[in-house]
Amino acid sequence: MKAMVMTQVCDLREDRSPLEMRRVADPVPAQGEILLRVLACGVCHTELDEIEGRTPPPRLPIIPGHQVVGRVEGTGGGVGRFKKGDRVGVAWIHSACGKCGFCRTGRENLCADFRATGRDVDGGYAEYMTVRQDFAYAIPEVFSDVEAAPLLCAGAIGFRSLNLTGLRDGQRLGLTGFGASGHLVLLLIKHKFPKTRVYVFARAEKEREFARELGAVWTGDSDEASPEKLDAVIDTTPVWKSVVEALRNLDAGGRLVVNAIRKQNIDQDYLLKLDYLTHLWMEKEIKSVANVTRADVIEFLKLAAEIPIKPEVEVYPLEDANRALLDIKERRIRGAKVLLVKAGRLTGS
Protein backbone atom coordinates (compact mmCIF):
# COMPACT_ATOMS: atom_id res chain seq x y z
CA MET A 1 0.00 0.00 0.00
CA LYS A 2 0.96 3.65 -0.22
CA ALA A 3 1.55 5.87 2.79
CA MET A 4 3.00 9.25 3.70
CA VAL A 5 5.89 8.17 5.92
CA MET A 6 7.93 10.09 8.47
CA THR A 7 11.55 8.99 8.26
CA GLN A 8 13.35 11.62 10.33
CA VAL A 9 12.96 14.41 12.85
CA CYS A 10 13.60 17.74 11.14
CA ASP A 11 13.06 21.49 11.21
CA LEU A 12 10.07 22.37 9.03
CA ARG A 13 11.53 25.78 8.25
CA GLU A 14 14.38 24.03 6.45
CA ASP A 15 12.80 20.81 5.24
CA ARG A 16 9.47 21.66 3.63
CA SER A 17 8.66 18.04 2.67
CA PRO A 18 9.18 16.09 5.88
CA LEU A 19 6.94 13.19 4.85
CA GLU A 20 7.64 10.90 1.92
CA MET A 21 5.12 9.02 -0.20
CA ARG A 22 6.28 5.42 -0.06
CA ARG A 23 5.09 1.94 -0.88
CA VAL A 24 5.12 -0.07 2.36
CA ALA A 25 4.03 -3.55 3.42
CA ASP A 26 0.26 -4.02 3.73
CA PRO A 27 -0.83 -4.10 7.38
CA VAL A 28 -2.25 -7.43 8.55
CA PRO A 29 -4.78 -7.51 11.42
CA ALA A 30 -3.68 -9.55 14.44
CA GLN A 31 -6.01 -11.28 16.92
CA GLY A 32 -8.59 -8.74 18.15
CA GLU A 33 -7.71 -6.21 15.44
CA ILE A 34 -9.56 -4.85 12.43
CA LEU A 35 -8.10 -3.80 9.10
CA LEU A 36 -9.36 -0.43 7.87
CA ARG A 37 -9.40 1.00 4.39
CA VAL A 38 -8.72 4.65 5.25
CA LEU A 39 -11.25 7.17 3.90
CA ALA A 40 -10.05 10.34 5.61
CA CYS A 41 -7.48 11.39 8.20
CA GLY A 42 -7.36 14.67 10.07
CA VAL A 43 -4.15 16.69 10.27
CA CYS A 44 -3.24 17.79 13.79
CA HIS A 45 -0.72 20.24 15.27
CA THR A 46 0.67 17.26 17.18
CA GLU A 47 2.09 15.94 13.91
CA LEU A 48 4.29 19.06 13.84
CA ASP A 49 5.42 18.23 17.38
CA GLU A 50 6.36 14.73 16.23
CA ILE A 51 8.17 15.89 13.09
CA GLU A 52 10.03 18.70 14.85
CA GLY A 53 11.05 16.43 17.71
CA ARG A 54 9.05 17.80 20.65
CA THR A 55 7.29 14.45 21.01
CA PRO A 56 9.30 12.26 18.65
CA PRO A 57 8.19 8.76 17.65
CA PRO A 58 10.19 6.09 19.52
CA ARG A 59 11.02 4.40 16.21
CA LEU A 60 11.28 5.49 12.60
CA PRO A 61 9.97 5.23 9.99
CA ILE A 62 6.42 5.75 11.22
CA ILE A 63 3.13 6.61 9.52
CA PRO A 64 1.55 9.60 11.32
CA GLY A 65 -2.15 10.39 11.66
CA HIS A 66 -4.53 9.92 14.59
CA GLN A 67 -7.94 11.17 13.41
CA VAL A 68 -8.80 8.33 11.09
CA VAL A 69 -12.10 7.41 9.47
CA GLY A 70 -12.09 4.12 7.63
CA ARG A 71 -14.14 1.14 6.51
CA VAL A 72 -13.59 -2.28 7.96
CA GLU A 73 -11.98 -4.31 5.21
CA GLY A 74 -11.07 -7.41 7.21
CA THR A 75 -10.66 -8.70 10.74
CA GLY A 76 -8.19 -10.76 12.72
CA GLY A 77 -9.53 -13.55 14.94
CA GLY A 78 -11.86 -12.90 17.84
CA VAL A 79 -13.46 -9.73 16.48
CA GLY A 80 -17.14 -9.33 17.32
CA ARG A 81 -17.70 -5.59 17.64
CA PHE A 82 -17.36 -4.71 13.96
CA LYS A 83 -17.92 -6.39 10.64
CA LYS A 84 -16.74 -5.83 7.10
CA GLY A 85 -18.12 -2.57 5.67
CA ASP A 86 -18.67 -0.78 9.01
CA ARG A 87 -17.43 2.78 9.15
CA VAL A 88 -15.23 3.35 12.19
CA GLY A 89 -12.90 5.95 13.64
CA VAL A 90 -9.50 5.78 15.34
CA ALA A 91 -8.24 8.42 17.78
CA TRP A 92 -4.96 9.40 19.49
CA ILE A 93 -5.35 6.67 22.12
CA HIS A 94 -4.04 3.50 20.51
CA SER A 95 -3.86 1.51 23.75
CA ALA A 96 -3.22 1.64 27.48
CA CYS A 97 -2.29 -1.15 29.92
CA GLY A 98 -5.80 -1.64 31.29
CA LYS A 99 -4.48 -2.73 34.70
CA CYS A 100 -2.82 0.21 36.46
CA GLY A 101 -4.54 2.55 38.92
CA PHE A 102 -5.15 5.16 36.24
CA CYS A 103 -6.65 2.67 33.79
CA ARG A 104 -8.91 1.18 36.46
CA THR A 105 -10.29 4.60 37.44
CA GLY A 106 -11.24 5.92 34.01
CA ARG A 107 -7.96 7.80 33.52
CA GLU A 108 -6.34 5.62 30.87
CA ASN A 109 -5.07 8.85 29.24
CA LEU A 110 -2.55 9.10 32.11
CA CYS A 111 -1.36 5.45 31.92
CA ALA A 112 2.43 5.06 31.88
CA ASP A 113 1.99 2.58 29.02
CA PHE A 114 -0.19 4.95 26.97
CA ARG A 115 0.51 4.37 23.26
CA ALA A 116 -0.43 6.96 20.66
CA THR A 117 -1.74 6.27 17.17
CA GLY A 118 0.54 7.70 14.51
CA ARG A 119 3.45 8.23 16.91
CA ASP A 120 4.06 4.94 18.75
CA VAL A 121 2.31 2.80 16.11
CA ASP A 122 1.44 3.44 12.46
CA GLY A 123 -1.52 5.76 11.89
CA GLY A 124 -3.81 6.98 9.15
CA TYR A 125 -1.70 8.90 6.61
CA ALA A 126 -2.01 5.72 4.56
CA GLU A 127 -4.35 3.67 2.44
CA TYR A 128 -4.85 1.04 5.15
CA MET A 129 -4.21 0.60 8.86
CA THR A 130 -4.98 -1.83 11.66
CA VAL A 131 -6.47 -1.04 15.06
CA ARG A 132 -7.65 -3.05 18.07
CA GLN A 133 -11.42 -3.40 17.94
CA ASP A 134 -11.78 -2.06 21.49
CA PHE A 135 -9.97 1.15 20.48
CA ALA A 136 -12.18 1.85 17.45
CA TYR A 137 -15.47 3.79 17.40
CA ALA A 138 -18.59 3.59 15.27
CA ILE A 139 -18.98 6.83 13.30
CA PRO A 140 -22.49 8.34 13.41
CA GLU A 141 -24.29 8.46 10.03
CA VAL A 142 -24.85 12.21 10.20
CA PHE A 143 -21.18 12.97 9.44
CA SER A 144 -19.40 12.69 6.13
CA ASP A 145 -15.95 11.07 6.25
CA VAL A 146 -14.10 14.38 6.23
CA GLU A 147 -16.44 15.92 8.80
CA ALA A 148 -15.97 13.01 11.19
CA ALA A 149 -12.15 12.98 11.10
CA PRO A 150 -11.44 16.18 13.10
CA LEU A 151 -13.97 15.19 15.75
CA LEU A 152 -11.66 12.32 16.73
CA CYS A 153 -8.85 14.52 18.10
CA ALA A 154 -9.55 18.24 17.78
CA GLY A 155 -13.13 17.65 18.91
CA ALA A 156 -12.53 14.99 21.57
CA ILE A 157 -9.64 16.85 23.19
CA GLY A 158 -11.56 20.12 22.99
CA PHE A 159 -14.41 18.35 24.79
CA ARG A 160 -12.01 17.05 27.44
CA SER A 161 -10.51 20.53 27.85
CA LEU A 162 -13.93 22.08 28.27
CA ASN A 163 -14.85 19.47 30.89
CA LEU A 164 -11.62 20.21 32.75
CA THR A 165 -12.47 23.93 32.97
CA GLY A 166 -15.50 23.02 35.12
CA LEU A 167 -17.43 25.76 33.28
CA ARG A 168 -21.13 26.30 33.96
CA ASP A 169 -23.63 27.98 31.65
CA GLY A 170 -23.36 31.78 31.78
CA GLN A 171 -19.71 31.81 32.89
CA ARG A 172 -17.20 33.62 30.69
CA LEU A 173 -14.73 31.59 28.66
CA GLY A 174 -11.57 32.60 26.82
CA LEU A 175 -9.98 30.64 23.98
CA THR A 176 -6.38 31.43 23.13
CA GLY A 177 -5.54 30.19 19.66
CA PHE A 178 -8.32 29.38 17.24
CA GLY A 179 -7.40 26.32 15.23
CA ALA A 180 -9.28 23.08 14.69
CA SER A 181 -9.93 22.43 18.38
CA GLY A 182 -10.87 26.00 19.32
CA HIS A 183 -13.49 26.25 16.59
CA LEU A 184 -15.09 22.97 17.68
CA VAL A 185 -15.16 24.10 21.33
CA LEU A 186 -16.93 27.29 20.25
CA LEU A 187 -19.55 25.29 18.34
CA LEU A 188 -19.99 22.99 21.33
CA ILE A 189 -20.39 25.90 23.77
CA LYS A 190 -23.15 27.48 21.72
CA HIS A 191 -25.28 24.40 22.35
CA LYS A 192 -24.11 23.25 25.75
CA PHE A 193 -23.75 26.66 27.41
CA PRO A 194 -25.88 29.12 25.41
CA LYS A 195 -25.53 31.91 28.01
CA THR A 196 -21.74 31.73 28.06
CA ARG A 197 -19.83 34.55 26.40
CA VAL A 198 -16.73 33.42 24.53
CA TYR A 199 -13.65 35.64 24.05
CA VAL A 200 -11.13 34.56 21.43
CA PHE A 201 -7.45 35.55 21.43
CA ALA A 202 -5.62 34.87 18.17
CA ARG A 203 -2.71 36.37 16.33
CA ALA A 204 -4.10 36.24 12.79
CA GLU A 205 -6.97 38.55 11.82
CA LYS A 206 -8.41 35.75 9.65
CA GLU A 207 -8.74 33.50 12.69
CA ARG A 208 -10.34 36.32 14.69
CA GLU A 209 -12.79 37.00 11.89
CA PHE A 210 -13.71 33.31 11.72
CA ALA A 211 -14.23 33.25 15.51
CA ARG A 212 -16.64 36.21 15.31
CA GLU A 213 -18.54 34.47 12.49
CA LEU A 214 -18.99 31.47 14.77
CA GLY A 215 -20.28 33.57 17.66
CA ALA A 216 -17.34 34.87 19.72
CA VAL A 217 -18.51 38.10 21.43
CA TRP A 218 -15.04 39.64 21.28
CA THR A 219 -11.72 38.84 19.64
CA GLY A 220 -8.28 40.28 20.18
CA ASP A 221 -4.59 39.59 19.90
CA SER A 222 -3.00 37.13 22.30
CA ASP A 223 -1.57 39.84 24.59
CA GLU A 224 -4.71 41.97 24.81
CA ALA A 225 -6.77 42.31 27.96
CA SER A 226 -10.29 40.95 27.60
CA PRO A 227 -13.03 43.55 28.24
CA GLU A 228 -14.18 41.55 31.27
CA LYS A 229 -12.45 39.02 33.51
CA LEU A 230 -12.86 35.36 32.56
CA ASP A 231 -13.93 32.33 34.60
CA ALA A 232 -11.89 29.94 32.47
CA VAL A 233 -9.50 29.97 29.55
CA ILE A 234 -8.51 27.12 27.23
CA ASP A 235 -5.10 27.64 25.65
CA THR A 236 -4.33 25.74 22.45
CA THR A 237 -1.22 27.67 21.40
CA PRO A 238 2.36 26.33 21.36
CA VAL A 239 3.76 29.41 23.15
CA TRP A 240 4.19 30.72 26.72
CA LYS A 241 2.92 34.23 26.13
CA SER A 242 -0.66 32.94 26.01
CA VAL A 243 -0.25 31.21 29.37
CA VAL A 244 0.91 34.38 31.11
CA GLU A 245 -1.67 36.62 29.42
CA ALA A 246 -4.50 34.14 30.05
CA LEU A 247 -3.66 34.07 33.77
CA ARG A 248 -3.85 37.87 33.81
CA ASN A 249 -7.30 37.77 32.17
CA LEU A 250 -8.67 35.23 34.64
CA ASP A 251 -11.06 36.32 37.35
CA ALA A 252 -10.56 35.26 40.99
CA GLY A 253 -10.96 31.50 41.29
CA GLY A 254 -10.57 31.09 37.53
CA ARG A 255 -8.92 28.16 35.80
CA LEU A 256 -6.57 28.00 32.84
CA VAL A 257 -6.59 24.69 30.95
CA VAL A 258 -3.58 24.19 28.69
CA ASN A 259 -4.38 21.95 25.76
CA ALA A 260 -0.97 21.48 24.16
CA ILE A 261 1.05 18.29 24.07
CA ARG A 262 4.27 20.33 24.25
CA LYS A 263 5.11 24.01 24.46
CA GLN A 264 7.84 25.39 22.21
CA ASN A 265 10.69 27.06 24.01
CA ILE A 266 10.93 30.01 21.60
CA ASP A 267 9.41 32.52 24.04
CA GLN A 268 10.14 30.93 27.40
CA ASP A 269 11.51 34.31 28.60
CA TYR A 270 7.93 35.55 28.65
CA LEU A 271 7.45 33.53 31.84
CA LEU A 272 9.63 36.06 33.65
CA LYS A 273 6.67 38.43 33.40
CA LEU A 274 4.78 36.13 35.71
CA ASP A 275 3.84 38.15 38.76
CA TYR A 276 2.24 36.41 41.70
CA LEU A 277 -0.29 39.15 42.46
CA THR A 278 -1.35 39.74 38.84
CA HIS A 279 -1.31 36.20 37.53
CA LEU A 280 -1.75 33.66 40.34
CA TRP A 281 -3.09 35.21 43.55
CA MET A 282 -6.81 34.72 44.36
CA GLU A 283 -6.89 30.98 43.82
CA LYS A 284 -6.23 30.95 40.09
CA GLU A 285 -5.45 27.47 38.78
CA ILE A 286 -3.54 25.95 35.87
CA LYS A 287 -4.22 22.45 34.53
CA SER A 288 -2.84 20.69 31.46
CA VAL A 289 -4.76 18.27 29.27
CA ALA A 290 -3.04 14.98 28.50
CA ASN A 291 -4.26 12.73 25.69
CA VAL A 292 -7.85 11.45 25.59
CA THR A 293 -9.71 8.48 26.98
CA ARG A 294 -12.00 6.27 24.94
CA ALA A 295 -14.91 7.64 26.98
CA ASP A 296 -14.04 11.19 25.83
CA VAL A 297 -14.20 10.10 22.20
CA ILE A 298 -17.43 8.12 22.62
CA GLU A 299 -19.24 10.85 24.57
CA PHE A 300 -18.09 13.59 22.25
CA LEU A 301 -19.11 11.70 19.08
CA LYS A 302 -22.56 11.12 20.58
CA LEU A 303 -22.98 14.77 21.57
CA ALA A 304 -21.62 16.05 18.26
CA ALA A 305 -24.12 13.87 16.38
CA GLU A 306 -27.07 15.01 18.52
CA ILE A 307 -26.37 18.73 18.13
CA PRO A 308 -25.01 18.19 15.36
CA ILE A 309 -21.58 19.82 15.28
CA LYS A 310 -20.32 20.04 11.72
CA PRO A 311 -16.70 21.09 11.62
CA GLU A 312 -15.47 23.47 8.96
CA VAL A 313 -12.90 21.48 6.98
CA GLU A 314 -10.21 22.13 4.40
CA VAL A 315 -9.57 18.99 2.37
CA TYR A 316 -6.22 17.91 0.87
CA PRO A 317 -5.39 14.72 -1.01
CA LEU A 318 -3.17 12.30 0.97
CA GLU A 319 -0.15 13.08 -1.19
CA ASP A 320 -0.43 16.77 -0.17
CA ALA A 321 0.04 16.02 3.55
CA ASN A 322 3.23 18.12 3.61
CA ARG A 323 1.35 21.13 2.28
CA ALA A 324 -1.36 20.69 4.94
CA LEU A 325 1.29 20.51 7.69
CA LEU A 326 3.03 23.66 6.42
CA ASP A 327 -0.30 25.46 6.28
CA ILE A 328 -0.77 24.68 9.99
CA LYS A 329 2.81 25.68 10.79
CA GLU A 330 2.39 28.97 8.93
CA ARG A 331 -1.10 29.60 10.35
CA ARG A 332 -3.13 29.34 7.16
CA ILE A 333 -6.01 27.95 9.14
CA ARG A 334 -9.75 28.04 8.95
CA GLY A 335 -11.25 25.18 10.93
CA ALA A 336 -9.75 21.72 10.54
CA LYS A 337 -7.53 20.17 7.88
CA VAL A 338 -8.31 16.70 6.59
CA LEU A 339 -6.58 14.36 4.16
CA LEU A 340 -8.88 12.58 1.76
CA VAL A 341 -7.62 9.09 1.01
CA LYS A 342 -8.56 7.15 -2.10
CA ALA A 343 -7.17 3.74 -1.31
CA GLY A 344 -6.26 1.32 -4.04
CA ARG A 345 -6.75 -2.42 -3.69
CA LEU A 346 -4.48 -4.36 -1.40
CA THR A 347 -1.97 -6.18 -3.50
CA GLY A 348 -0.79 -8.53 -0.81
CA SER A 349 2.71 -7.09 -1.12
- Binding residues (CB under 5 A) for Zn ion: these are 44, 46, 96-97, 100, 103, 111, 153
Q: Shortest distance, CB of residue 181 to Zn ion, whole angstroms?
A: 8
Give the shortest CB-200-to-Zn ion separation in angstroms: 20
Cβ 274 to Zn ion shortest distance, Å: 28
Cα distances (angstroms) measured from residue 237 to each of 101, 194, 223, 281, 301: 31, 25, 13, 23, 24
For Zn ion, the closer of residues 157 and 341 by Cβ is: 157
Closest distance of CB 111 from Zn ion, Å: 3
Neighbouring C-beta atoms of residue 88, cutoff 10 Å: 20
Please identify, using beta-carbon distances, which residue of 153 and 318 lies nearer to Zn ion: 153
Pairwise CA distance, residues 64 & 321, whole Å: 10
**Measured distance between the N- and C-terminal CA atoms of the chain, rounded to whole angstroms:** 8
Q: Nearer to Zn ion by C-beta: 100 or 280?
A: 100
Contacts of 71 (CB under 8 A, 6+ apart): 36, 37, 39, 85, 86, 87, 88
- Given the complex with Zn ion, which of 159 and 199 has the nearer CB atom? 159
Q: Which is nearer to Zn ion, 46 or 130 (CB)?
A: 46
Task: Name the residue among 99, 101, 97, 96 with its Cα closest to residue 117.
Answer: 96
How many other C-beta atoms are found inside a 10 Å radius of the C-beta of residue 73? 18
* Minimum gap (Å) between residue 152 Cβ and Zn ion: 8
Burial class of residue 187 in the structure, from the number of CB atoms within 10 Å of its CB (0-12 exposed, 13-18 middle, 19+ buried): buried
Distance in Å, CB of 207 to Zn ion, minimum: 18
- Residue 325 Cβ, how far from Zn ion at the closest point, in Å? 12
Q: Which is nearer to Zn ion, 36 or 116 (CB)?
A: 116
Q: Report the residue number, 111 or 250, with the smaller CB distance to Zn ion.
A: 111
Phi, psi of 192 (to 5 degrees): -80, -40
Q: Compute the distance between CA of residue 96 and CA of residue 82 in angstroms, rounded to an integer.
A: 21
